């Protein structure tokens, strides 16, 4: 199935669904346009209903577009534009997929849904060129939008990223509390979708990152698990008292995430980033 291509299917495009004979008595505008639109939608829906999910999945494999991104965006378009399913292909034309039903504003609802649920603040050029793109080109542009969000957009959890007030430096207890509160503020200010975009760019399994980050959040008592690759393990692996917590984390990560984790990684914790740590875990899991 993975060898399937869009060319193996009837593609949703103006030349395949809008080539419709119009009776002479309906040849006046806007009657003609509405008639063609209605017939084209019916024809396109029939094509979608005839597609095999596994073959559609195979057609996307060689595009290098994230499968979750495809699923999320396709679901929004299917629901907002009232299609019978979300079995869209890379070569389908956006001018067909983002078509309105009757006098509805379905295409606008779909674009708003994509910005609200998938990619915030999409580049205006993408929307202005939407109707001239294939669906694969559109998703490729969206994916680029996601991964353009780099770590530089975040305040990184790293030594020296926060200057402790002079009065707090005199008392270790106050100093540690001040550090924990300030670094926690960095996390609270992060957008989950933007954090996910950074990890997608790193090609590290999002589910693996989520499970590992959840353990670190709970064990080290951080307000959330929105860690990014450039965060330093020497900070995020510190507990409430800002003491490095190797033992408990090593035990929980070994038990719940990676039974065969290389023990030497724990001796490198103070010198590596969280992204490097996750790469180690992903590699050890693949052994």
100 and 128 inside one domain = yes
Asked, for residue 269, whether it belongs to a domain, the answer is yes
End position of a domain, from candidates 147, 179, 214: 147
Which pLDDT score, from 0 to 100, does residue 20 have? 54
Compute the distance between CA of residue 224 and CA of residue 217 in angstroms, rounded to an integer: 6
End position of a domain, from candidates 91, 116, 147: 147
Which pLDDT score, from 0 to 100, does residue 171 have? 46
Tell me the HSE value of 204 on the side-chain side, using a 13 A CA sphere. 26
pLDDT per residue as tens, the chain (287 positions):
445 555 557 888 887 765 655 565 556 666 556 666 777 788 899 999 999 999 999 999 989 899 999 999 999 999 999 999 999 999 999 999 998 765 556 788 898 888 878 876 678 889 999 999 999 999 999 988 876 644 446 788 888 755 544 444 444 554 556 667 778 878 887 888 888 888 988 889 999 999 999 999 999 989 999 999 999 999 999 887 767 777 888 899 999 999 989 899 998 988 999 999 999 999 998 86
Phi, psi torsion values for 244, nearest 5 degrees: -65, 125
Asked, for residue 212, whether it belongs to a domain, the answer is yes
Question: Given CA atoms 122, 127, 132, 134 in this order, what sign does their dihedral have?
Answer: positive
126 and 34 inside one domain = yes
Asked, for residue 1, whether it belongs to a domain, the answer is no
33 and 66 inside one domain = yes
194 and 87 inside one domain = no
157 and 119 inside one domain = no
Asked, for residue 170, whether it belongs to a domain, the answer is yes
141 and 189 inside one domain = no
175 and 230 inside one domain = yes
Closest CA to 225 of 235, 212, 207: 212
Asked, for residue 35, whether it belongs to a domain, the answer is yes
16 and 134 inside one domain = yes
End position of a domain, from candidates 124, 147, 170: 147
128 and 227 inside one domain = no
Which pLDDT score, from 0 to 100, does residue 104 have? 55
109 and 64 inside one domain = yes
- Name the domain count of the chain: 2
Which pLDDT score, from 0 to 100, does residue 109 have? 86
Which pLDDT score, from 0 to 100, does residue 246 have? 79
Whole-number Cα distances in Å, 228 to 63, 270, 275: 26, 16, 7
176 and 260 inside one domain = yes
227 and 139 inside one domain = no
Q: Is 23 exposed, middle or buried (0-12, 13-18, 19+ CB in 10 A)?
A: exposed
Residue 226's domain comprises 151-285
Phi, psi torsion values for 203, nearest 5 degrees: 60, 35
Judged by DSSP in three states, 238 sits in strand
Which pLDDT score, from 0 to 100, does residue 168 have? 42
Which pLDDT score, from 0 to 100, does residue 172 have? 52
Compute the distance between CA of residue 102 and CA of residue 171 in angstroms, rounded to an integer: 69
């Amino acid at each position: 199935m993975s060898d399937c291509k869009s060319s193996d299917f009837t593609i949703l495009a103006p030349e395949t669904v809008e080539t419709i004979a119009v009776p002479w008595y309906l040849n006046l505008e806007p009657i003609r346009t509405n008639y063609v639109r209605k017939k084209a939608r019916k024809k396109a829906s029939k094509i979608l209903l005839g597609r095999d999910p596994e073959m559609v999945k195979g057609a996307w494999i060689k595009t290098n577009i994230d499968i979750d991104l495809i699923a999320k965006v396709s679901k929004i378009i299917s629901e907002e534009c009232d299609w019978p399913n979300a079995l869209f292909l890379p070569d389908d034309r956006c001018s067909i997929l983002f078509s309105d039903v009757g006098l509805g504003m379905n295409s606008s609802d779909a674009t708003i849904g994509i910005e609200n649920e998938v990619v915030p603040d999409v580049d205006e050029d993408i929307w202005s060129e939407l109707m001239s793109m294939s669906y694969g080109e559109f998703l490729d542009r969206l994916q680029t939008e996601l991964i353009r969000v780099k770590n530089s957009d975040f305040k990184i959890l790293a030594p020296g990223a926060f200057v402790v007030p002079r009065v707090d430096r005199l008392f270790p207890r106050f100093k540690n509390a001040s550090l924990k509160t300030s670094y926690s503020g960095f996390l609270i200010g992060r957008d989950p979708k933007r954090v996910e975009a950074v990890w997608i760019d790193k090609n590290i399994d999002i589910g693996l990152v989520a499970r590992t980050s959840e353990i670190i959040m709970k064990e080290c008592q951080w307000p959330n698990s929105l860690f990014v690759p450039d965060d330093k393990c020497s900070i995020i692996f510190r507990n409430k008292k800002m003491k490095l917590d190797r033992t408990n984390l090593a035990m929980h990560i070994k038990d719940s995430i990676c039974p065969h984790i290389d023990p030497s990684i724990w001796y490198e914790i103070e010198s590596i980033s969280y992204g490097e740590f996750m790469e180690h875990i992903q590699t050890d899991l693949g052994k």
